[in-house]
Chain A
Amino acid sequence: DQQVKQNSPSLSVQEGRISILNCDYTNSMFDYFLWYKKYPAEGPTFLISISSIKDKNEDGRFTVFLNKSAKHLSLHIVPSQPGDSAVYFCAASQQGAQKLVFGQGTRLTINP
């Protein structure tokens, strides 16, 4: 049972434009969501997170939006840069449960 889903395995965006990565979840008990960026043969790097009491969190070029009614979150990167090319994982957790549940990842490619 895939509780966190990233339905787009890949996304290609032109440099300077906005990248939008999507993530859906099924467990309504999740109350904390995170985005990680991962390069090949490296561990994931934490990017940004959002608590379920918010619907938006912004950090520089990265903004995460949460739509609790739709059980959907998205990561916006603007403007996109070549260094943003990586695999992006969304993850969710339930307060007190300790562990994170990861999506399958979306490979983002930024074209010059």
Chain B
Amino acid sequence: GAVVSQHPSRVICKSGTSVKIECRSLDFQATTMFWYRQFPKQSLMLMATSNEGSKATYEQGVEKDKFLINHASLTLSTLTVTSAHPEDSSFYICSAREGFEDTQYFGPGTRLTVL
């Protein structure tokens, strides 16, 4: 149980384009989903928290107009990196939790490379 999927697993795009990453909870309803990014050899940095049907809460320093998050259903959240630039290249990981559980279950991650 508690499986989270992400799509795509890897994406390469040109600078200035937008990229959408999907995160799905496959066997549970995720009241809350989280988006992280990880730079090489560093820890996971929380970008934003999204609750189903409401606006995402962004961490300090994360541009909400650049990283658009939509949590339209209890099993799907999307992260759109708008007008991507090379410095946005990173490993993006989502996680989800069921109800009010404290444990988060992570997706496999998406490697974004912006040329």
Q: Which positions in A face B, CB cutoff 8 Å?
A: 32, 34, 36, 41-46, 49, 89, 93, 95, 98-100, 102-105
Contact = CB atoms under 8 A, between A and B. Distances in A.
Nearest to B42: A104
Contacts of A42: 108-109
A100 B46 CA distance: 8
B44 A89 contact: yes
A98 B7 CA distance: 24
Residues of B contacting A: mostly? strand
Contact of A43 (B2, B93, B103): B93
B104 interface: yes
Contacts of A44: 44, 93, 106
Nearest to A33: B102
Nearest to A95: B102
A1 B24 CA distance: 32
A89 B45 CA distance: 12
A95 B111 CA distance: 31
B91 to A, nearest CB: 7
